[in-house]
Amino acid sequence: MTTPTSHPFAIAARGLRKAYGDKTVLDGIDVRVPAGTVFSLLGPNGAGKTTAVKILSTLITADGGQAQVAGHDLTTDPQAVRAAIGVTGQFSAVDGLITGEENMLLMADLHHLPKQEGQRVTAELLER
């Protein structure tokens, strides 16, 4: 599991753009999320929230703009971005079946952390 970085911004994006054919879905968004904060991305359906998250998590590429996550450039170092983040969908298959703590322990296990380290990291995150 990664530790917090010394970068001032967890996310820094400028001018992110994405289009599918002639349909522009992101039209130059800018966002800065200070490291160590909780951030919510809210907006109406079709506003581009999911597209922005997919770009920032390296699932798709932007057509324009620049972005860094945890100090790593999305285009030049996507592996480092992936190593620094964790992303889960809004509606996972186990929502409502397990607690947040159990979900974090599951993620630690899926990342092959030793059991004690997974428990330690989970406890630290819950304390935050």
Q: Over the stretch 5-37, which tens digit does the pLDDT of each residue have?
A: 467 899 999 999 999 999 999 999 999 999 988
User: Which CATH number is 31's domain given?
Assistant: 3.40.50.300
Q: 4 lies in a domain?
A: no
Task: Give the total number of structural domains in the chain.
Answer: 2
Which pLDDT score is estimated for 94?
59
Q: Over the stretch 56-96, which tens digit does the pLDDT of each residue have?
A: 988 899 999 999 999 999 999 988 998 888 776 666 555 56
Q: Are 30 and 92 contained in the same domain?
A: no
Q: Are 40 and 99 contained in the same domain?
A: no
Cα–Cα distance between 119 and 13 in angstroms, integer? 33
Q: Are 92 and 76 contained in the same domain?
A: no
Pairing of strands 72-73, 23-34: unpaired
- Nearest alpha-carbon partner for 33 in 62, 59, 4: 4
For residue 38, the enclosing domain spans: 9-84
Count of CB atoms situated within 10 Å of the CB of 87? 11
Which pTM does this prediction carry?
0.67
Q: 1 lies in a domain?
A: no
